[in-house]
Amino acid sequence: MRLLLAEDDALLSDALVAQLGQAGFAVEHAPNGAVAEYLLARHDFDAAVLDIGLPMVDGLTVLKRARDAKPALPVLVLTALDKLDDRVAGLNAGADDYLTKPFDFPELEARLRALLRRTRPVIAGASAGGGPSPEMGRLVFEREARRASVDGQTIELSPREWELLDLLLTQRNKVVHKDQITAAWGPGGEAPGMIEVYIHRLRRKLEGSGLAIRTVRGLGYLLEAAA
């Protein structure tokens, strides 16, 4: 997957190029806004990581222009500023996500992949090389085909269970609140009291998949790698 990294700090960009490369991305580096614009115009990228504070042409301007030219491009904005206004400005200018420096690389990677999943309806969790990624345990979740399998064996899921699993997977390692589940099930969905029942069923079906659903007291549920 081709990724544009626009970051002017030499130390940071050097490290990011290496880390993103290792994660399976083909990275092009732009040290300033002018080069970034040039590259964006010339090549097709699957995603872009943009630093707000770029020399020559600042990040927000590059973003706005890129948005006009390529509305579908997922852009994650990096910045040292984290005031509310800056966040809002970034998102208003067209950023899809926002990360403050310094950050943890796994977080950057996870967010990038989340952005990519939205635009590319492929096997969820698949890395650039294809196949199940480590965080997914042994589960293969094909959203388009509506098929879930563990070690090749298909798991039978009712529509509600499917929606529930999909939501948990999308929010992997994050707490999913009961309200979110009810919202995902949509109007005409089950009563909130039924959530526990479905969670229970899903837990049984996920046994042996390397994934587990944790109950977080007072907050909701979380899908994580099984201990």
Interacting residues with another protein (CB under 8 A):
9-12, 14-16, 18-19, 22, 53, 80-82, 84, 100-103, 105, 173-175, 177, 214, 216-220, 222, 224
CB of 227 to another protein, least distance (A): 10
Which residue stretches of 23-94 are H helix?
Answer: 33-42, 59-69, 84-93
The CA distances from residue 50 to 7, 19, 95, 129, 199, in Å, are 7, 16, 9, 24, 39
Measured from the CB atom, the residue of 32 and 73 that comes closer to another protein is 32
3-state secondary structure of 127: coil
DSSP 47: E
Measured from the CB atom, the residue of 132 and 220 that comes closer to another protein is 220
**Joined tokens for residue 204:** 């049984």
Measured from the CB atom, the residue of 88 and 197 that comes closer to another protein is 88
Instruction: Kindly report the backbone phi and psi dihedral angles of residue 72, in degrees, each rounded to the nearest multiple of 5, phi listed first.
Output: -90, -5
3-state secondary structure of 219: coil
CB of 176 to another protein, least distance (A): 9
Alpha-carbon gap, residue 215 to 227, rounded angstroms: 14
CB of 189 to another protein, least distance (A): 21
- CA atoms within a 13 Å half-sphere pointing along the CA-CB vector of 27: 21
CB of 175 to another protein, least distance (A): 4
CB of 85 to another protein, least distance (A): 11
Measured from the CB atom, the residue of 14 and 190 that comes closer to another protein is 14
Measured from the CB atom, the residue of 43 and 174 that comes closer to another protein is 174
Measured from the CB atom, the residue of 149 and 180 that comes closer to another protein is 180
**Joined tokens for residue 150:** 């563990």
CB of 27 to another protein, least distance (A): 13
